């Protein structure tokens, strides 16, 4: 808990725990793929996502990280290293989510060598019904999923093509009925190789001999994806570049694009490729306006280790937000650690919304403060309360939701006990944040929830 229990907190948490939820951001790909790829070795399974970042931060070498995540190395061999690193970071929010997951799924209070054997037994016995039951029991009515590109362990494939998108457009990438996919943009504007142009040409079944033809082919793919159920664009370029987009001329963009066309063996490098990257990004924003698609943008903290968060500050996006007034933007992760910039943008720009996906387990006290100050500064219809943001393991997302509900209850309790809100007003705000706001924003068509 993030605060001492009180009658108000207890009542709010009880009400919030019963509310339906729109999970605003996941990388979960459904039971068939996730159960196939989730390691059965327990330490590899526990470190598939965010906990590994804290183990890195605690001093693990790259070689040790690879050792821990190797599913073919036995738990016994890994245990001495894992135990030492776990003790160093057991109090972080990532570790809290891990501990919540173990308690909720396996009734495990502490990670020990013996308790990991129980985890291994459960991992080996998971099936599709277990996977989907987690969402039903958590009250999750919709999942907005970023799944139409290769996962991290297939990273090299991303810059040559997207077999996942091909499967999706051909009807061979089936998702659970409550999943709503988004279209991932960066690989279509971060063009570095001719191979990717050739991939777009093949998938669209259109020749590409100019930048104009590339735009036409890409728009064709996006239209087909929307017809198949895509509900938004998603851009996570912040992992590789500053999210400040200039307005280069078309001729500057064409000059770079033509270098790849005239000699397919050439490669473009950053920052020389920025004019083409920026030009195509703005073109995609125009398509978002035309197709009435919201745009999710990664802002703030970056996963894994050794990246530079300053380039991901949402403040860099201000010119984009101002230029593309007709586009609805969904800024991710509370822009951690730049709280003031997130609040300013949501308050100052009518087309900006704040999404607290991931941030509850990055820094729940920051999340609590952001929610409290958002009530005071931003229309409450512009806040989305939860996104699990996990690969492979829905059990971790459900534990993250438990932490998110506690954080939301704590923030609202502070505002009730300070007399800023009435208790029933706080309940209504929680329902808007967790369900009604994202349902309306993404046009999911779910029935309104009245608490």
**Cα 379 to Cα 321: distance, rounded to the nearest angstrom:** 17
Which DSSP string corresponds to 331-358? Answer: E-GGGTT-HHHHHHHHHH-TTEEEE-TT
pLDDT tens-digit series, residues 115-152: 999 999 999 999 999 999 999 999 999 999 999 988 87
- Identify the pLDDT of residue 154: 74
Q: Kindly tell me if the per-residue pLDDT of 158 is higher than 90.
A: no
| Residue percentage of the chain with pLDDT more than 70 | 98
pLDDT higher than 90, residue 155: no
Q: How far apart are CA 440 and CA 447, in angstroms?
A: 10
Question: Which positions ≥6 away from 371 have C-beta within 8 Å?
Answer: 356, 383, 407, 408, 411, 412, 433
In this prediction, residue 430 carries a pLDDT of 98
Q: What is the spatial distance between Cα 50 and Cα 378, in angstroms, rounded to a whole number?
A: 30
pLDDT band at 163, cuts 50/70/90? confident
CB 184 within 8 A of CB 161: no
What is the average pLDDT value for the chain, to the nearest integer?
Answer: 96
In the DSSP assignment, the letter for residue 436 is I
What would the pLDDT profile of 32-71 be if each residue is shown by its tens digit? 999 999 999 999 999 988 999 999 999 999 999 999 999 9
Q: Residue 188 above 70 pLDDT?
A: yes
Q: What does the pLDDT read at residue 81?
A: 98
Side-chain half-sphere CA neighbours of 416 within 13 A: 22
pLDDT band for position 251 (cuts 50, 70, 90): very high
212 falls in which pLDDT band (50, 70, 90)?
very high
Residue 410: per-residue pLDDT: 98
Tell me the whole-structure pTM to 2 decimals. Answer: 0.96
C-alpha pair distances (Å), 347 with each of 245, 310, 344, 350, 377: 21, 21, 5, 7, 7
Distance CA 363, CA 186 (A): 27
- In this prediction, residues 324-344 reach a mean pLDDT of 98
CA distance 96 to 101: 9
Residues 401 and 386: beta-carbon distance below 8 Å: yes
Query: Mean pLDDT over residues 7-27, rounded?
Result: 98
Q: Which residue has the tokens 């939820």?
A: 21
Mean pLDDT of 269-293: 97
Predicted pLDDT of residue 325: 98
């Amino acid at each position: 808990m993030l605060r001492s229990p009180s009658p108000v907190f207890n009542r709010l948490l009880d009400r919030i725990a019963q509310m339906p939820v729109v999970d605003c951001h996941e990388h979960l790909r459904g039971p068939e793929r996730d159960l196939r790829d989730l390691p059965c070795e327990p330490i590899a399974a526990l470190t598939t996502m965010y906990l590994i970042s804290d183990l890195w931060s605690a001093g693990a070498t790259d070689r040790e990280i690879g050792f821990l995540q190797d599913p073919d190395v036995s738990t016994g061999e890994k245990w001495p290293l894992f135990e030492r690193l776990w003790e160093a970071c057991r109090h972080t929010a990532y570790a809290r989510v891990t501990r919540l997951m173990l308690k909720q799924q396996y009734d495990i209070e502490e990670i020990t060598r013996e308790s990991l054997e129980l985890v291994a037994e459960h991992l080996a016995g998971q099936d599709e019904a277990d996977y989907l039951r987690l969402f039903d029991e958590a009250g999750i009515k919709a999942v907005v999923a970023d799944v139409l590109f290769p996962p991290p362990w297939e990273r090299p494939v991303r810059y040559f093509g997207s077999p996942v998108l091909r499967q999706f457009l051909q009807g061979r990438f089936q998702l659970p009925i409550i999943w709503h996919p988004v279209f991932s943009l960066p690989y279509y504007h971060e063009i570095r190789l001719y191979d990717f142009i050739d991939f777009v040409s093949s998938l669209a079944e259109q020749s590409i001999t100019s930048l104009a033809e590339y735009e036409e082919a890409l728009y064709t793919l996006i239209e087909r994806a929307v017809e198949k159920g895509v509900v938004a664009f998603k851009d996570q370029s912040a992992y590789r570049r500053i999210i400040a987009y200039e307005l280069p001329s078309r001729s500057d963009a064409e000059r770079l694009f033509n270098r790849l066309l005239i000699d397919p063996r050439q490669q473009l490098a950053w920052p020389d490729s920025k004019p083409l990257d920026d030009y195509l990004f703005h073109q995609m924003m125009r398509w978002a306006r035309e197709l009435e698609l919201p745009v999710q943008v990664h802002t703030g903290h970056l996963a894994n280790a050794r990246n530079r968060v300053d380039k991901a500050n949402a403040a860099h996006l201000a010119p984009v937000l101002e230029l593309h007034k007709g586009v609805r933007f969904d800024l991710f992760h509370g822009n951690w650690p730049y709280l003031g910039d997130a609040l300013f943008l949501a308050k100052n720009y009518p087309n900006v919304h704040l999404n607290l996906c991931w941030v509850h387990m990055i820094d729940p006290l920051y999340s609590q403060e952001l929610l409290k100050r958002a009530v005071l500064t931003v229309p409450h219809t512009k806040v989305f309360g939860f996104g699990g943001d996990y690969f492979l393991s829905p059990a971790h997302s459900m534990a993250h939701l438990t932490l998110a509900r506690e954080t939301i209850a704590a923030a609202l309790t502070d505002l009730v006990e300070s007399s800023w809100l009435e208790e029933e007003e706080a309940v209504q705000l929680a329902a808007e944040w967790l369900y009604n706001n994202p349902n309306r924003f993404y046009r999911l068509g779910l029935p309104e929830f009245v608490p």
